[in-house]
Structure 1
Amino acid sequence: MPTSLQGIEDAQTLAQAIVDTIHEPLLVLDAEFRVLAASRSFYAIFQVDPEHTIGRPLYWLGDGQWNIAALRVLLETIIPERVAMDGFEVEHDFPGLGARTMLLNARKVIYERSANTTILLAFTDITARRAIEREKEELLERTEDLLAQQQTLLQEMQHRVANSLQIIASILMIKARAVTSEETRQHLSDAHQRVMSVAEVQAHLHASGGVERIEVGGYLTKLCASLAKSMIGEDRPIILEVVADEGEIGSDKAVSIGLIVTELLINAVKYAFPAGTPDAQVMVTYTSAGDGWTLTVADNGVGKTPDAAPGKHGGLGTVIVDALVKQLGATMKVQSVGGVSVSITHAASVLLPQAA
């Protein structure tokens, strides 16, 4: 059966035992902020003894080491208006301890049968925690600075690569205009288109501000617009249309897809539409589902035999397309019904069920 304490001495003994049991430094103060009790950890950590602690005002302890402006605000301003205060942070240079950051929790105890009040004041040393947090913040700042420098270098590299590609493309075009051999001129022109295809990828990456993944629809639209501007003349009007979903792909794969589209467009413009072909059209479509996708380049031209490769007339084009399709881990299908349709398909990954 529960029993009550028999007298005030028993209550004081129990209270002191509780205070001493607490691991963190703890003080019990009266309404005038005089120390009524202190935990053993308080004496040990702050290097004071009971003789110079009990009955003395808090601000006098340890040659005035607790005469701290922030602590006065807590005890004299906040506590009178509130019953409790948690997480009050104090930074101070304590004699014998050095600079410390303390987290203070205070509770005002109001008694039913007495007008007296008592204040419980607990201390937690968070110096090490704050030091770790500051180190993390400094590390984060350094990391952000390094990332900013990396981004600047990347942008500079992209700018230089774009300029280099433009120079190469210009040289190829100048050479194509200067040579007398029609075959050589055509080869130089094709090389120019391939360089422009890579340059368009670089430009799109730079505009999107990233190098990891790009949106395929926007990229193909810009690429085909650039190719049409240089490949399709007014004397041979060909409608070039792009239809793509919102799928994204890695920038490395985007380069390969761009080169495939370039080769297939070069082939279609060269061979699908003899002079005077009305309503000539090339359709570029891209659909995706997960990491699977299908790229199709189809024209409504004169067509060819079903077993003909898309780059049959170019030689190098065939080699390039075949190599890029293998590099992408995709398959190619060629159909010739009312024109030529070339589909490049990358199958979606199949997730196998995990064993129980």
Structure 2
Amino acid sequence: MILEDLYRLLKSGHVQAQGIVDTMTQPIVVLDHNLCVTNTNNAFVRTFEVERDDILGQSFFALGNGQWEIAELHQLIASVIPKAAAVIGFEVTHDFPAIGQRTFLVDARRLIHPDNNSSNILILFNDVTESRRQDAERDFVVAETRHRLKNLLAVTRSIAMQTQTEDRTAAEYRDIFLGRFEVTLRAQEMATTDQTIDFEVLLRQSVGEPGLDRLHCDGPAVTLASSKVLAFGMIFHELGTNAVKYGALSVPDGQIHVTWALETGPRGRAYLICEWQEKNGLPVTPPKRRGYGTDLIEGTSAHLGGKAELKYDPNGLAATIKIPL
């Protein structure tokens, strides 16, 4: 074999090796014993938007804005040759020039050579930015689901514990509990599907089917934050349930008139003032004992930073509810 044939063979091997490296979709660089770049592939050039000639011969730790100059990573790569070590999956999150915030897993190994005497280091970069984002979103969804489930179970337990059993049959208790539980589920569903809820829509859904044709609403368009949906839903469901059992909706000619307005309170805080008035129903008298419904309406309003006032007028129950938006 003459020298020219040997040169062609070596050149052919080099071209083939470079072709293999450039075929790789992950960015790759090769460092010499001084940790300077001796070669790189097309994926590295495209990923980091650099010119190959600009980085050849440069210290790896001086590339970009010093993005790889991390003490631990520097130490690990420097130990690859003398300690026959390897770097596997070292995570780097950085705001890279031209491409912005990215997360890479870095692998570094000694470059294999036929005489087993290579002092070059092959470094491979795996962009995991998208997978990390998806992991974070999944973790958030799981955490939010657990939080909502925990809240729902707490509300369910509270409903069960505070729904009175005295002077009620098992069927009556079941119906009352399921009614309150159903409005809780509807409110939770609305809260999870929308960022804001129309107040009148929530009001009508909370009162329920038996009284919709006799529920008269009048007020400006008001949107509620999803965090307040469950509380408002429980309040008006309780008022509606009581109207069906004891009030205006328990007789054919009874009606409910609900009006509301917005009011500016101290420090410019907006309040929703809602008036609930039952008409043409059975005569109303104050209850002999304080029940779950009264506690729920007044307690929930207070919890939201507002207040509720119930008036047992003989002509029909009247309620004034004031809650900050």
Q: TM-score, normalised by structure 2?
A: 0.49
Greater Rg, structure 1 or structure 2?
Answer: 1
